[in-house]
Amino acid sequence: MAPSPAPYRVLARKYRPTDFTGLIGQEALVRTLSNAFASGRIAHAFMLTGVRGVGKTTTARIIARALNCIGPDGRRTEPTIQPCGVCEPCVSISESRNVDVQEMDAASRTGIDDIREIIEGVRYAPVAARYKVYIIDEVHMLSKQAFNGLLKTLEEPPPHVKFVFATTEIRKVPVTVLSRCQRFDLRRIDSEELAQYLAALAEKEDVKIEQAALALIARAAEGSARDSLSLLDQAIAHTGDEGDIITAAAVRAMLGLADRGRVLDIFEKLMGADVPAALAELKDLYDAGADPLAVVQDLLETVHFLTRLKVAPGAQGFFDGGSGEAGRAAALAAQLSVAALTRAWQILMKGLFEVRDATRPILACEMVLIRLAYGAELPPTGKLVKDLLDGGAAPLPRGAASPSAPSPRGPAASMSASGVRAAQPAVLPQEAPTARVRSLEDIAALAAANNAPILRVALENYVHLVHLEPGRIEFCPHARAPRTLAGDLAQKLKDWTGMRWSVSIASQGGAPTLAEQKQAAKTARFESAAQEPMVRAVLDRFPGAEIVSVRDIAREDITPAMPDGDGDSESETGH
Residue whose CB is less far from Zn ion, 49 or 94: 94
Q: Residue 358 CA to chain centroid, in angstroms?
A: 16
Q: Long-range CB contacts (< 8 A, 24+ apart) of 445-448?
A: 445/415, 445/420, 446/411, 446/492, 446/493, 446/496, 446/497, 447/492, 448/423, 448/424, 448/566
| DSSP one-letter code for 313 | T
- Environment class of 148 (CB within 10 Å of its CB; exposed 0-12, middle 13-18, buried 19+): middle
In the complex with Zn ion, the residue whose CB is nearer, 126 or 482, is 126
Q: Where would I find the beta strands (DSSP E) of 176-285?
A: 182-185
Does position 135 interact with Zn ion (CB under 5 A)? The reply is no
| Smaller CB separation from Zn ion, 96 or 323 | 96
Taking the C-alpha atoms of residue 205 and residue 571, their distance in angstroms, rounded to an integer, is 84
CA pair distance 71, 89, nearest whole angstrom: 9
Residue from 53, 83, 223, 379 touching Zn ion (CB under 5 A): that is 83
473 binds Zn ion per the rule CB under 5 A: no
Scanning 77-85, 95-103, 129-137, 390-398 for contacts with Zn ion by CB under 5 A, the matching segment is 77-85
Q: Name the minimum Å distance from CB 80 to Zn ion.
A: 8
Residues 6+ apart with CB under 8 A from 366: 279, 282
Please report how close the Cβ of residue 65 comes to Zn ion at its closest, in angstroms: 6
Out of 45, 54, 84, 213, point to the residue binding Zn ion (CB under 5 A). Answer: 84
Beta bridge partners of 101: 133
| 468, β-bridge pairs | 473
Cα-flanking dihedrals φ and ψ of residue 463, to 5°? -110, 115
Segment interacting with Zn ion, rule: CB under 5 A, options 10-18, 56-64, 83-91, 142-150: 83-91
Q: Which stretch binds Zn ion (CB under 5 A): 42-50, 89-97, 178-186, 393-401?
A: 89-97
Q: Does 90 bind Zn ion (CB under 5 A)?
A: yes
**Complex with Zn ion: residue 11 or 69, whichever CB lies closer:** 69
Check if the beta carbon of residue 495 is closer than 8 Å to that of residue 488: no
| Complex with Zn ion: residue 130 or 226, whichever CB lies closer | 130
> Which stretch, 69-77, 151-159, 387-395, 411-419, contacts Zn ion (CB under 5 A)?
69-77
Q: Based on CB atoms, which residue is closest to Zn ion, 49 or 80?
A: 80
67 binds Zn ion (CB under 5 A): no
Sole binder of Zn ion in the list 23, 24, 87, 458 (CB under 5 A): 87
> CB 90 → Zn ion: shortest distance, Å?
3
In Å, how far are 169, 339, 391, 521, 522 from 570, measured between CA atoms?
Answer: 60, 34, 10, 10, 8
Site stretch for Zn ion (CB under 5 A), options 62-70, 104-112, 182-190, 375-383: 62-70
**Complex with Zn ion: residue 81 or 499, whichever CB lies closer:** 81
Tell me the closest approach of the beta carbon of residue 16 to Zn ion, in angstroms. 16
Binding to Zn ion by residue 69, rule CB under 5 A? yes
By CB under 5 A, residue 306 contacts Zn ion: no
Query: Taking the complex as a whole, how short is the minimal distance between the CB of residue 83 and Zn ion, in angstroms?
Result: 5
Contact assessment for residue 476 and residue 508, using Cβ atoms and an 8 Å cutoff:
yes
Task: Considering only the stretches 66-74, 189-197, 290-298, 356-364, report the one whose residues sit in contact with Zn ion under the rule CB under 5 A.
Answer: 66-74
The answer for residues whose C-beta is within 8 angstroms of residue 281's C-beta and 6 or more apart is: 262, 265, 266, 269
3-state secondary structure at position 458: helix
Q: How far is CA 223 from CA 186, 187, 207, in A?
A: 11, 8, 22
C-beta separation of 388 from 439 below 8 A: yes
Q: How far is the CB of 38 from Zn ion (least distance, A)?
A: 18
Q: Which is nearer to Zn ion, 88 or 205 (CB)?
A: 88
Burial class (CB in 10 A: 0-12, 13-18, 19+), 565: exposed
Which residue lies nearer to Zn ion by CB, 77 or 559? 77
Site size toward Zn ion, by CB under 5 A: 5
Interface residue list for Zn ion (CB under 5 A): 69, 83-84, 87, 90
